[in-house]
Amino acid sequence: MTISDSPRNSPLGKATSFPNAYDPTLLFPIERRKMRDELQISGTLPFFGLDIWNAYELSWLNMRGKPQIAIMTLTVAATSPNIVESKSLKLYLNSFSQTKLAGTDAVLELLRADLSAAFGSPVQVSLTLPDAFPSIQIQELEGMLLDRLEIDVDQYSPSPSLLKTVQGEPPVEETLVSHLLKTNCPVTGQPDWASVQIQYVGAEIRQDTLLHYLISLRNHDEFHEQCVERIFMDILRECKPQKLAVYARYTRRGGLDINPWRSNFSSGQRPLYIRNARQ
C-alpha cells in the first residue's frame, strides 16, 4: 500500500480490470496533510469531525460458495492521516466477491484491519444484512432551504469573498441547507453532487451570499472531504461565527456515498446518519 501525491498518475480514473480475488493492496491512500496545506490549515485542527461512508455493493461467498451481500458503513475520524480514493475502495470491496469467508465476523475482521491500515488510524465498520434492509430510512437534512432564493449567478469557481454577514444586528443561531452543491472528482473529472447543511452561531450570514458561494464551487475539482473543509474554513474566515458545523451528504457513485462532517462545537450528538432521497 503506497501513499501517493499524484492520483492522476495512478491507475485511478483509467480503464480497470475488476479483481476476482481478495486484494487489500488495491486501497489507495492519499495524505490529508497536503490538501490541508492548500487550505492553509496547520497546527491544531480548527475542527473535529467524521467521514461517513456507505458501500452498497459488498458481496462475498460463504464456505459453500453461495454469495452473501451486505451494506457496509465505514466511519473515519477527520484526524486520520489519510483519506482513501473512492474508486480504489470500490475495487477493494469488489475483490471480496469471489472470496470464501466464514461469516460476517470474518468479513468485518478483514475490513477493519485493511481500512484502518489504509486510513492510518482505527476506523469503525458495521454491516447491514438483508434481513435489516426494511428498516433503512430516508430523511432529508433539517434546516431552512437556501434554494428557495431567486438569485442571478455568474460565478462558478470558488469565491469566498462572496460571503457577507448582516452588520449591526445581534448574533443568531441558524441551520441552513442547500441541495445545489456540486464539485468534480479531481481524478476522473466526474461530477459529485451533494446536499449540504450549515449550522452556526454568530453574526447573521446573508443567505443569498451563502447560496452564491456554494454554487461558486460548481466547476471546482476537489475530493469530498477537502471540499467540506474548504467550505468550513471559508465561512469561518469570512463570517467569523462562534460556532460552526458543515455536513455534506454526497450522492452515490460507484456504489459508494461519502458524507463528511466538520464542527468546532459539541452538541453531544453525531450528525444524522440517515441517507437522503438522492442517495
- Indicate if 5 belongs to the active site: no
Choosing from 185, 234, 239, 257, which is the catalytic residue? Answer: 185
Give 3-state DSSP helix, strand, coil % of the chain, rounded to 5. Answer: 25, 30, 40
Q: Where are the beta strands (DSSP E) in the chain?
A: 29-31, 48-61, 67-77, 82-84, 124-128, 144-145, 172-184, 191-202, 243-250, 256-263
- Cβ pair 128, 73 in contact under 8 A: yes
- Indicate if 192 belongs to the active site: yes
Residue with cell 444586528: 169
Q: Please tell me the distance from the alpha carbon of residue 152 to that of residue 60, in angstroms, as a whole number.
A: 50
Choosing from 51, 114, 192, 257, which is the catalytic residue? Answer: 192
Single out the residue of 116, 92, 111, 115 nearest to residue 101, CA to CA: 111
Cβ density class 69-81: b for 16+ within 10 Å, e for less: ebbbebebebebe
Active site residues: 185, 192
